[in-house]
Amino acid sequence: MGFALAALAALTVLRLVLAAWLPLTPDEAYYFSWARPLQAGYLDHPPMVALWIRLGTALLGNDPLGIRLLGPLSAALGSLALYDAGNRILPGQRCGLLAAGFLNATLMLGAGSILMTPDTPLIFFWTLSLWALARLVQSRDARWWLAAGALAGAALFSKYTAALLLAGTGLWALTAPPIRATLRTAWPWLGIALALLVFAPDFAWNAAHGWASYLKQGGRVDGFDPARAAQFFGELIGGQALFFTPLIAILAVRGLWHLRADKSPGARLLLWLSLLPASVFLEHVLTDRVQGNWVAILYPSACLAAAAAPPRWHRAALALGFGLTGLVYVQVLHPFLPVPARRDTSAVQMAGWPELAAQASASHPAFITSDDYATASELAFYAPKAMPVLGIGPRWAYLDWRNAKLQGASGVLITRRDTTPCPDPLGTISRKQGQAVVMTYRVCRIAAPATAKEFPRP
């Protein structure tokens, strides 16, 4: 165990170094803009990610490490919680250490723990809620429902997909006889009340804003198209084979299959928390693409199931997982694979933003802006502090920022969209990785709209 703790500490330090070194991704820059000022809700997600960013930047400042600080730290603490849960949830197997190793060896956690997105606190609180339920399984002390409920509420306050945690836990309690007996006490119902209490600020914000978040997230449904459904299904399976890393993915499926005949409450819990979300995602691919990060909620229970599988390929799975994650780290820091910059995911996400912001500001316009949230957020983080950056469009109306006092002033719009009207073009600028062009943008002169909002600057 001492070696495992030392390895986790070293891995956490490495992740903190990478968090400090790597430029912000567009989503991180966007969520950073949420943190000033804080709100009880946002158009896209609940506010937990903004709270975490606010705490990190209060400790270390408005830089990438401050923004990402709680990511590597929560991954370390979550690993310890999964270790303890694994040793309690399946009697006699003590699979906690192996499960924590598998989770850290996945590319999902290896990359995701460095970045600060809503999935970061979601997986942390999901794992802690699983840990509290494991304590309930072992002790049969119904008071653990209080901890599980509060932590599930924090997960829901991180991302709405945590509703599947509440649903899976409820179905587990109804179908596992020893746990069903606790439903005759007040504790599980108080746990539900705590979850709703933790989530209440987001509900209140949505009630005051026309249920904007719920309508946005609930509107991800298109018509059924068999050909597209097959494509989406292939993307889902292939993507998760990569994010889990191949051998851990195989072991997770094998472990869940192995647990199907186990009637113990712990095995039932892992099955419900894995198969219920999986079934929802499989239903979703009939009409639309499932983004790879959505499936992250399966990882804690799936890694516990993988660790409970018959002991074949365990060491090979760990070696392959950490090896692939290490290669990704190297590729991000010093690209060595012959992948064009325009197709390199890390380059598309992180390369060249400071230089692009400098180019956009070079002519000293009255302001700069973009018609997509990603570019606008990166410009707001990296542009010179004296340069106003505006948010234009309906998205920004939900943020409690001051209205821009630049109506009619002449500024520049940076756009990567060919369909955006540009009656007064000023040329193009490019974002690069070294000398290779990642993306080219048109520069258009525009007048500041009356409804524009001004980004709070770092």
- Which of these three, 275, 299, 333, is where a domain ends? 333
- For the chain, percent helix, then strand, then coil, each to nearest 5? 65, 10, 30
The pLDDT value given to residue 222: 60
pLDDT at 220 over 70: no
Cα–Cα dist 121/74, whole Å: 8
**Whether 225 and 325 share a structural domain:** yes
CB-based contacts of 63: which residues, under 8 Å, 6+ apart?
20, 57
What is the per-residue pLDDT across 134-175, written as a single tens digit (0 to 9) for each?
999 999 999 999 999 999 999 999 999 999 999 999 999 999
Quote the pTM value.
Answer: 0.95
**Whether 221 and 370 share a structural domain:** no
Confidence at 224, pLDDT banded by 50, 70, 90? low
pLDDT at 8 over 80: yes
Let me know if residue 339 belongs to a domain.
Answer: no
**Whether 145 and 289 share a structural domain:** yes
**Whether 196 and 139 share a structural domain:** yes
pLDDT at 87 over 70: yes
The separation between the first and the last C-alpha atoms of the chain, rounded to the nearest angstrom, is: 42
The pLDDT value given to residue 90: 83
Upper half-sphere CA count for residue 362 (Cβ side, 13 Å): 12
pLDDT at 272 over 80: yes
**Whether 158 and 23 share a structural domain:** yes
Question: Could you give the percent of the chain with pLDDT greater than 70?
Answer: 98
The pLDDT value given to residue 1: 75
**Whether 353 and 321 share a structural domain:** no
Q: How many domains does the chain have?
A: 2
**Whether 322 and 354 share a structural domain:** no
What is the per-residue pLDDT across 69-84, written as a single tens digit (0 to 9) for each?
999 999 999 999 999 9
Let me know if residue 153 belongs to a domain.
Answer: yes
Amino acid at 31: Y
What is the per-residue pLDDT across 101-113, written as a single tens digit (0 to 9) for each?
999 999 999 999 9
Let me know if residue 437 belongs to a domain.
Answer: yes
The pLDDT value given to residue 45: 95
**Whether 406 and 327 share a structural domain:** no
The whole-number average pLDDT for the span 199-204 is 98
Confidence at 196, pLDDT banded by 50, 70, 90? very high
pLDDT at 230 over 70: yes
What is the per-residue pLDDT across 60-71, written as a single tens digit (0 to 9) for each?
999 999 999 999
Amino acid at 232: F
Let me know if residue 17 belongs to a domain.
Answer: yes
Smallest CA-to-CA distance from 44 within 54, 33, 57, 56 is with 33
Cα–Cα dist 2/74, whole Å: 20
**Whether 288 and 379 share a structural domain:** no
The whole-number average pLDDT for the span 414-425 is 92
- Which of these three, 333, 363, 388, is where a domain ends? 333
The whole-number average pLDDT for the span 291-308 is 94
DSSP H or E run through 438: strand 436-447
Let me know if residue 342 belongs to a domain.
Answer: no
The pLDDT value given to residue 288: 83
Domain extent, residue 390, equals 349-454
Reported residue count of the chain is 458
pLDDT at 289 over 90: no
Let me know if residue 53 belongs to a domain.
Answer: yes
Cα–Cα dist 96/436, whole Å: 45
The pLDDT value given to residue 228: 83
**Whether 196 and 98 share a structural domain:** yes
Let me know if residue 282 belongs to a domain.
Answer: yes
Q: Please state, rounded to an integer, the average pLDDT across all residues of the chain.
A: 93
Cα–Cα dist 273/166, whole Å: 9
Q: Which of 78-87, 107-116, 220-229, 293-302 has the lowest mean pLDDT?
A: 220-229
**Whether 151 and 108 share a structural domain:** yes
Burial (CB count <10 Å: 0-12, 13-18, 19+), residue 224: exposed
- Which of these three, 333, 368, 403, is where a domain ends? 333
The whole-number average pLDDT for the span 187-211 is 97
Let me know if residue 313 belongs to a domain.
Answer: yes
Q: Going edge to edge, which strands form the sheet with 425-433?
A: 425-433, 436-447, 410-415, 368-370, 389-391, 453-454
**Whether 319 and 355 share a structural domain:** no
